[in-house]
Amino acid sequence: MIKKLLISLMSLCTVISLLLVFYCFFTPKNNDNIVQAYSNTLIIPYPALNEYLLTNGDSSTSYLFFCKPDSADCQYIQNTVMKTLEAEQGSSLSELIDYVDVTELEDNLMINQLTDDWGIKNYPAFVSVTTANGELTINNSIQWDIENPMSARELKQWMMTNKIWSGLFEEKDAEVLVPTN
């Protein structure tokens, strides 16, 4: 009787152990090296950014928006500044500008890597980068300043400088928004 009870108990432990191993083995894992698409916004995790840019091809220019989804400053830029310009331009900026998620840098206390890699000290920031012969060249950038937050006018100027602004040109903006070559 005791022998049957011990065999049953061992069998039960074996089955439970196998179920636990299978559960752990087949649990889905997050892959940070893939580009994720949420609604109309393409989100590129920072570790995958260089690979993403290099696969765009030679002589291509990319426009990047460095941000962290849960940042109040980023939400202000997305919900106020970018929405204002989208209404003016009549098209979505997410089709022109790629969203780069810097959450991993912030979580790992490596936010200074933005300065080393892209020449920006703060986020949110917009960067224009050209790929040529497998090399990335930063054309220009605009970044958030806590003392002087980014305005729709400044972002519009950056877009005009990069020749991606397709909205109407307003006469009152003439002195500020004339692109320089």
**36-168 fold:** Glutaredoxin (3.40.30)
Range 108-114 average pLDDT:
72
Domain assignments of the chain as residue spans, ordered by start: 36-168
**Cβ distance 165 to 96 under 8 Å?**
no
- Dump pLDDT digits (tens) for 29-84: 655 444 444 455 677 887 877 787 777 777 778 888 888 888 888 888 888 888 88
Nearest to 101 by CA among 41, 43, 154: 43
d(Cα 34, Cα 47) in Å, to the nearest integer?
Answer: 9
Given the structure tokens 């912030």, which residue do they identify?
Answer: 106
pLDDT for residue 14: 93
Between 110 and 141, the higher pLDDT residue: 141
Q: Give tens-digit pLDDT for 84-107.
A: 878 877 777 777 788 888 887 776
Segment 119-166, tens digit of pLDDT: 788 888 888 888 888 777 778 888 888 887 778 788 788 888 877 777
Nearest-angstrom CA–CA distance, 33 and 161:
31
